[in-house]
Amino acid sequence: MQIKTFQKIVILVAGLLILSGGVYYGYSQSWFGDKVEVGEELQVPRKPSDANDELKVMYATAVVSHEARMKDSSFVNYLREGLDWKTVGEFARKDEQRAYFVYSAYVYTKAADQYPDKQVALVNAGNIFVQLGEFGRAEQAYKKAAEIDPKYADPLLALLEAMQTLKAPPSKELLSYFRERYPKLEHDGGQFVYMYARYLLTVGENAEALDVLKTGAGLFKDDKRLPVEYAEVKKELEKRGYKEPVKIQVQ
């Protein structure tokens, strides 16, 4: 009896591994390291159940995009296919959405491997992980994108939005990460500082928000909102009894 029971367990586990293999494979890649490592092609998700005519067209479009990408692995074909699977996921039944989002993220991670100088593939992958509710993977994708070209704010803005969408707490590590990153921005730096400071105020990081606005106003002088926002925030905080700390520079 024990042997038969063990055999049943082995068969059950094997079956579960086969069923979950696509999802596991899609997440087990080492693309969060220095290089994406993708093996054989992940199986295309099956057609949505109970699909209306509009969803059938979306699925057919995604399949066509997949076939086009398999024939021509240009960057635009990766982006088109990833977007098409994402679209199918957004309109599919809730119990079937995950498969399409997973495949979309998989396509974007393959694009990141093939075109390691392109931020957008990793930002898109991060956005899919947000839709899957997986902040950890989204965070890693956005940070990897930021490393490609630190001058652009898109990955940092996406990470900030993910924190708000998934209600991720502003950990010391993340605060330190943003503090180190945003002064290097050359494109949309003022926009990031403005949005980041407002986020910090909503989570009670008042001192950090004030410091970010003060520093940002000095760095991104073209953004006229920052000195105004700094003055207004400082005034409001002082009304509430907050005193900005004086930084003493050591000669």
Among 9-23, 158-172, 193-207, the minimum mean pLDDT is found in 9-23
Q: Does domain 31-148 have CATH number 3.40.50?
A: no
Asked if residue 43 lies in contact with residue 155, where contact means CB atoms within 8 angstroms, the answer is: no
Asked if the model's pLDDT at residue 250 lies above 60, the reply is no
Most distant CA atoms of the chain, gap in Å: 81
How far, in Å, CA of 11 to CA of 123, rounded?
39
Confidence label for 25 from pLDDT (cuts 50, 70 and 90): very low
Rounded mean pLDDT, 156-172:
96
Asked if the model's pLDDT at residue 20 lies above 60, the reply is no
Asked if the model's pLDDT at residue 41 lies above 80, the reply is no
The domain segmentation of the chain, as residue ranges, is 31-148, 169-251
Query: Is 207 exposed, middle or buried, given 0-12, 13-18 or 19+ CB atoms closer than 10 A?
Result: middle
